[in-house]
Structure 1
């Protein structure tokens, strides 16, 4: 007989291509410490940035099936590329459980934060090609001037757990030079891997440029949604955290422990396809 789980105690699912979405998981855990979290990532197909959005969309749909099987009450698409690939599905509430992405909260925060309307977006190639950030930012601020830059090397470095040091700083400087040349006053970290190296990025862009972490904005939106629907977990204790990956669980755990010390202490392998692509 299946054990009954009250709706408030059902877990929140978080999805990303790799370790980057741990920045969103951490933001949710900090804001909502009683919530049970399931973090699932597709490291077998990482990185998503260079892949066709149609392919990423198919991967995401399979993970949504997994989250339904896990009895999640809400899913956070903690991946900007996947959000871009499935934005129509998210807006249409096309799944049995509510799902939301990180782009809209981040875009809204950037539009509000910028004094001049000159906004930079550092992201993956797939997110940049989709145009989702400029489009969404202009929904909140029609006069905004938005410049984008794909920074794939920073995604790789974060996935390796290398988030500081002289080499990372040089790569950040090179990646962000075209954005800074446009005199932006706000920079959206448009890939969930980038907040892992936020200290280096802030040092490079200087104090006059405000960093926007869509993960933190998303956590606030999640809290509001759960509160409105009466789904907040009242506790009393801290929530459970479970992690799953389509790749090597041990490697995932080694990197996760560097990126989020104390945040994840175990990971399991999941096989969601009849054969790996």
Structure 2
């Protein structure tokens, strides 16, 4: 296996990171991908920074067993809590996240410097988006909002336009942000791209909605290109691993990928 043909290792607390995989496949169809979903410990969003960091290091340790050329933290919560620790422990492998690419894009696209961020409790409490957006534009006003009801609703399949429950919940969450006059909204959780159509409709034409999953894939492509690591292979391979309930993962995963997974799903004990 050449350097270019090595796997991109992607992980998340569960299935949300599959929106990142979907964006990677759409942006770089020739890449080999290993995905790990820590479904035994989902969700990360309600846990302490210390606990999240412990899980993340186990996730990356598992991925590092494979021939990987990059690590993608496909979870805003994990990226916010443990990115620095991963980079410190795996300095020989480039690490990509979801927070910085989305923050950079938001800082670039906002016109009135009012940026909204919706995310899990842990991501909001970490202050990662404010800090990162301010590193690109110190004058930006960042309004962050924790939306704890969205992940469970999406995982129940409630993300389609016309579903009154999810539409009502989103209106409750988004109306205060809209009233504060934001012109850019970051979807700071990898589950949220599935709600993109409803969110854009609620926010209206004057608000640019940024998917952290799409931004992450764009940044990954740029980074691999700069390192001359983009695969030009005609055949690509995808493998999916989970720490619990592979059957349930596979069923839900089709929602996130929007089509066939394009690879096998296997349950593993990463502590072994």
What pairs with 1:23-172 in structure 2 (closer than 5 Å)? Answer: 23-90=19-86, 92=88, 94-164=90-160, 165-172=163-170
Q: Structure 1 residues 141, 263: CA separation in 2 closer, same or farther (over 3 Å shift)?
A: farther
Give how far 1:104 is off.
Answer: 0.5
Structure 1 match to 2:190: 192
Q: 1:91 to 1:179 in 2, by over 3 A?
A: farther
Correspondence for 2:261 among 237, 259, 264: 264
Question: How many Å apart are 1:93 and its aligned residue?
Answer: 6.8
Task: Give the Cα–Cα distance (whole angstroms) in 2 for the partners of residues 258 and 243 of structure 1.
Answer: 15
Q: Following TM superposition, by how much is the alpha carbon of 1:98 offset from its aligned partner in structure 2, in angstroms?
A: 1.7
Distance 1:167 1:96 in 2: 46
Tell me the CA shift for residue 90 of structure 1: 4.8
TM-score after normalising by structure 1 = 0.93
Contact 1:68/1:97, CA 8 A, preserved across alignment: no
Q: Which residue of 2 aligns with 1:221?
A: 219
Q: Distance in 2 between matches of 1:157 and 1:228?
A: 39
State whether residues 93 and 99 of structure 1, in contact with CA within 8 Å, keep that contact through their aligned partners in structure 2: no
| Cα distance in 2, alignment partners of residues 171 and 249 from structure 1 | 30
Shift in Å, 1:159: 2.3
Shift of 1:228: 1.8
Aligned length in residues:
269
Matches of 1:203 and 1:50, distance apart in 2 = 29
Query: Could you list the runs of 5+ residues in structure 2 that have no partner in the other structure?
Result: none
CA distance in 2, matches of 1:180, 1:103: 22
Shift of 1:84: 0.8
Q: Report what 1:241 is aligned to.
A: 238
Shift of 1:122: 0.2
Q: How far, CA to CA, are the matches of 1:259 and 1:101 in structure 2?
A: 19
SS in 2 for 1:197: helix
Q: Secondary structure at the match of 2:116?
A: strand
What is the distance in 1 between the residues matched to 2:53 and 2:175? Answer: 31
Normalised by the length of structure 2, the TM-score is 0.94
> Post-superposition shift, 1:22?
1.1
Measure the CA separation in 2 of the matches of 1:147 and 1:93.
Answer: 32
Q: Which runs of 4+ in 1 moved over 3 A?
A: 90-96
Instruction: Give the counterpart of 2:16 among 20, 23, 29.
Output: 20
| Per-residue Cα deviation, 1:39-88 (whole angstroms, up to 9, x for no partner) | 11111111111100111111110111111101211110000000011132
Shift of residue 259, structure 1, vs aligned partner: 2.3
Hey, what's the Cα distance between the residues in 1 that align with 2:211 and 2:196? Answer: 9
Residue segments in structure 1 that go unaligned for 5+ positions in a row: none
Asked whether the equivalents of residues 57 and 86 of structure 2 are also in contact (C-alpha less than 8 Å), the reply is no
How many angstroms does 1:267 deviate by? 1.1
How far the C-alpha of 1:137 sits from its partner, in A, is 0.3
